[in-house]
Amino acid sequence: MEFDAKTPIYYQIEQYINREIIIGHLRPGAQVPAVRQLAITLTVNVNTIQRALANLIQAGILVPERGKGNFVTTDQKVLGKMKQSMIEGEFKALYDHLAALELSPEEMTAAFAQYVQTQQGGEAHE
């Protein structure tokens, strides 16, 4: 997996797992791949996986069962909040930066819509 060199890997893994849950690749109650397996898949050290999982456990998104593994919570309230904060976080980052560039709300939406347009036409997924 590719990581942004400017942000901690453990944090990017947290968000990656959150996305896997939101998409449905990891369903509520499902077992998360073993830490040693994740370490291989994501090409990072087990400790880094562990740190990411510890944060997700702390947040109640994953539930650990000793000797068995880590499982996605079935608490829909927690999952709903997580999804909300994930998406809002993305929007807020863009909004704040565009606001710092003194774009009006109309300009923001128009500019982003135009960008999405360009991505649709020239999809050159490498």
Partner DNA sequence: CATAGTGTAATAGATGTATAGTACACTAGT
Partner DNA sequence: ACTAGTGTACTATACATCTATTACACTATG
Q: In the complex, which residues of this chain contact DNA (CB under 7 A)? A: 6, 8-11, 32-37, 43-48, 50-51, 53-54, 57, 64-70
- Alpha-carbon distance of 38 to 49, in angstroms, equals 7
> How many Å apart are CA 24 and CA 7, to the nearest integer?
25
Q: For residues 30 and 34, which CB has a smaller minimum distance to a second copy in the complex?
A: 30
Say what angle helices 9-23 and 46-58 make with each other, to 10 degrees.
60
- Closer to a second copy by Cβ: residue 116 or 124: 116
Q: Where are the alpha helices (DSSP H) in the chain?
A: 9-23, 35-41, 46-58, 76-100, 105-121
Candidates 32-40, 56-64, 73-81, 85-93: pick the segment binding a second copy (CB under 8 A): 85-93
Give the binding site for a second copy (CB under 8 A). Answer: 6-8, 11, 19, 22-23, 86-88, 90-95, 97-98, 100-102, 105, 108-109, 111-113, 115-117, 119-120
